[in-house]
Structure 1
Amino acid sequence: MSAYDAVLARQSWSKLTQEAPTREELLPLVAAAGRVADHSSLQPWRLIELRGDDRLRLGAAIAEANGDLKPSSKPLRASLLIAVVVSFRPSEKVPRWEQEAVASGVAHVLSLLLDEAGWGVIWRTGGHTRTAAVAAAHGLTENEELLGWLYVGGKPDGKRPGRRKPVDAESLLTRLPSAEGIAG
């Protein structure tokens, strides 16, 4: 499958089976995803795999962040969650927003690679990603922020992925305004 075909085929899978890739299966995919464009090769990202009871601890942290008494069951929707973390590096050349873009790029490419390998993936976020309780549960440092989790599992038989609207490329690919058009 070409990169073009992989991108066109990518879908979010909100329902997953409890199957998941092993750590050994993940490592080459993470290494490949790490090849995204990365100004100054800072590698301003890391991934945290959550399996088993890790997901229960995350559910408790989400509950704490939301002020709920009962742990959130959301992390139990997949047997593997991959937390996407931006790890900001000191740099005079590479601003924080660009470092966050690199981490986001790694997550997206990893989701494509997982999909191509036959796994269902959905990237989940939420307001609690930036809370102290959830950050503490992930062991984040003061120079790190959580961008969300890739929920990874098997694709259920007979199920279809989430719907995707076609992209209207004509309306999204524009040209620079003419000099006359921007002069005030």
Structure 2
Amino acid sequence: MASALDAALARRSASKVTDAAPDDAVLLELLEGASRVADHASLRPWRVIALRGAARERLGEALAAAAGAEGEAAAKLAGKPLRAPLLLAVVAVVAPEHPKVPEWEQEASAAGVAHLMSLLLDDAGWGVMWRTGPFTRHPLVAAVHGLAPDERLLGWLYVGGLPGGRRAERRTDHVAASRLTTLF
């Protein structure tokens, strides 16, 4: 059995995926694992929305409208959510003015779910890429997702099959040494 470190070191974003996608049963199993992310006061300040089929088209239309795009530019924006058969919208469900957990920490917990879910999907053999953009928090985009006033869209995990059924080569660059500072 591979370790969590092995899975993390093997993870790569997949910018191109096939039309295969995990079903809801697989998503629920992986999301159960992702739900174990650090969560101060056990608020579970997140939810995940699966967008398939026509829901991706509605999202594309909302992105184009949010941008005020027309013609070719609108078509390009509208096509972005069609790059994968499944989009998982990661939403922070914020309890404003919580006495123990500030809003930024609640969003950080939701972001942790997104990252852990991407790691688990990758480890299960799916292609995944976390995408955001300038209209992630636009009211038209929020409406497509049916977000409540206390909910904030963090972005989408684009999920699909891996072309050729293979993972990208493992990264060989080492960045940790340049990012660690030790204070005494």
- TM-score, normalization: structure 2? 0.91
Aligned to 2:92: 86
| Structure 2: stretches of 5+ with no match in the other structure | none
Indicate yes or no: 2:165 matched with 1:137.
Answer: no
Deviation at 1:167, TM superposition (A): 3.4
Q: Equivalents in 2 of 1:6, 1:50: separation in Å?
A: 26
Aligned to 1:57: 58
Aligned partner of residue 149 in structure 1, secondary structure: strand
User: Residue type of the partner of 2:50?
Assistant: E
User: Residue type of the partner of 2:86?
Assistant: L
Q: How many residue pairs were aligned?
A: 177
Q: Equivalents in 2 of 1:160, 1:31: separation in Å?
A: 24
Indicate yes or no: 2:122 matched with 1:121.
Answer: no
Q: Equivalents in 1 of 2:113, 2:24: separation in Å?
A: 17
Q: Equivalents in 1 of 2:118, 2:167: separation in Å?
A: 17
Deviation at 1:165, TM superposition (A): 6.8
Paired residue for 1:102, among 74, 97, 109?
109
Change (3 A) 1:53 1:158: closer
Paired residue for 2:178, among 160, 166, 171?
171
| Structure 1: stretches of 5+ with no match in the other structure | 179-184
Alpha-carbon contact 2:9-2:170 (below 8 Å) kept? no
User: Residue type of the partner of 2:67?
Assistant: N
Aligned to 2:13: 12
Indicate yes or no: 2:82 matched with 1:76.
Answer: yes
Q: Equivalents in 1 of 2:118, 2:17: separation in Å?
A: 14
Q: Equivalents in 2 of 1:29, 1:128: separation in Å?
A: 28
Deviation at 1:162, TM superposition (A): 8.6
Alpha-carbon contact 1:44-1:86 (below 8 Å) kept? yes
Q: Equivalents in 1 of 2:165, 2:106: separation in Å?
A: 39
Aligned partner of residue 20 in structure 2, secondary structure: coil
| CA offset digits 1:100-132 (Å, max 9, x no partner) | 110000000001110111100000000110111
Aligned to 1:146: 153
| CA offset digits 1:48-69 (Å, max 9, x no partner) | 0000000010001001101123
Q: Which moved more, 1:121-130 or 1:151-160?
A: 151-160
Quick check: which has more Rg, 1 or 2? 1
Change (3 A) 1:162 1:122: farther
RMSD: 1.7
Structure 1 ranges of 4+ moved more than 3 A: 158-165
Indicate yes or no: 2:37 matched with 1:30.
Answer: no
Q: Equivalents in 2 of 1:165, 1:14: separation in Å?
A: 19
Change (3 A) 1:68 1:30: same
